[in-house]
Amino acid sequence: MPNTSTKTKIDESETPSLLSKTQTQSHRLRARIQFGTLCWCMYLAGWNDGTTGPLLPRIQKVYSVNFIIVSLVFVFACIGFLSGAFANLVLNPKFGFGKNLVGSICQVIAYCIEAAAPPFPAFVLGYAINGFGMALQDAQANGFVASLKDNAEAKMGLLHAVGAGALSSPLVATQFAQLPRWSFHYLCSLGVASLNTVLLIVVFGLKGQDECLAQIGQEPGEKDTSENSQFRQILGLKDVHLLAFFILVYVGVEVTVGGWMVTYIIDVRGGGPSSGYISSGFFGGLMIGRVALLWVNRVVGERRVLFIYAILAIGLELIVWLVPSLIGGAVAIAIVGIILGPMYPIAMNHAGRVLPRWLLTGSIGWIAGFGQAGSALLPFMTGAIASKAGIKSLQPLLVGMMALMTLLWALVPKSSRRTD
């Protein structure tokens, strides 16, 4: 007869190993679902950023407003972004990760307003509501991915590569810009935002970040031992503010190129109605750069390579400015997108290295939320200057912004100054 006691012992010894393997597979599946949901969240952010540029000339025409008035869409978006960034610092310790992600509901409300093409004051109010919701989501999504212990750098690059929404939305917006019901483009945006809200609630279930990380087998991070509030600690860190201003200028450059370049190509280079596709080329470049240049970032070093990217981007922008070629300019703009693409994830990864772990989510939330204000502030400045000097002023402004961005990166510390 077979030795049943021996067999039982073997089964018992194998059970923990099999159980551990099953748990690991379960954690990996859950991690992919969580990451995919955050990617869709960033897809919506990219979709939103890529929408305005192709529609801007049509908005001007419909509401009969000049450059400076139409730029109020950027001002109200800026108000929303900054409000969301401050709100995140207050709401994050109280409500945590999951509940703040429902900022997507704000975007649903905003797109409902904009789709109706209401009077201009109500239309720009929609941009403020949208900005508030997007700042909350951007902050939480970046903070969550930066807190991951499994290949966070590559995931951060992929997360922002999925801002490919900015590649696809100009293709759709360019078509709607030529239709009588131009504002129905925002119904497409409403569909993307509604799906985003459902996914966030189903996948994360309004849970805190530590609880969501535990679902993928990751232990909670370091705990805060300071008597000061997170709000005061974060705002007291010099490195946080340097990174926040760097991201503000970077995002401002990105959205200024995507938003005003179409108007520049039409007015200065004589492009036709299809010029909106140039915006897609730029945002497509951003997506490609964030994935294709990951290996360059690793080989050269993320801090050093960003300086190289910045210098190349300035050179290409000078080509767009000084060489009067429609096709050449379109190609150069797409390459600028490829080079600018890795900068945002590089900055977020660097934040994870130089900032205290227990303040990381809140700090990255502030950096991302404050930085998103650049997507409104700098395009508004561009519109205000263009109303007096003409849209031809766009290129020298972009070169100056890129130079400022490079200077700010030089001021960001190379390594951590903290003691954990």
pLDDT digits (tens, 9 = 90+) for 80-90: 888 888 887 77
pLDDT digits (tens, 9 = 90+) for 260-286: 888 888 888 777 777 777 877 888 888
pLDDT digits (tens, 9 = 90+) for 332-345: 999 999 999 889 88
The Cα 48–Cα 168 span in angstroms is: 10
Model pTM?
Answer: 0.73
DSSP class of 147:
T
* Burial degree of 357 (CB within 10 A; 0-12, 13-18, 19+): middle
Check pLDDT > 60 for residue 48: yes
CATH 1.10.1270.20 holds for 33-411: no
Task: Indicate the domain borders of the chain.
Answer: 33-411
Res 16: pLDDT? 46
Of 87, 203, 170, residue with least CA distance to 134:
87
Res 177: pLDDT? 84
CB 137 within 8 A of CB 193: no
What are the residues whose beta carbons fall under 8 Å from the beta carbon of 382, sequence distance 6 or more? 71, 256, 260, 393, 394, 397
The Cα 206–Cα 245 span in angstroms is: 30
Of residues 162 and 30, which shows the higher confidence score? Answer: 30
pLDDT digits (tens, 9 = 90+) for 183-242: 899 999 999 999 999 998 888 887 877 888 888 887 765 554 454 566 677 877 888 889
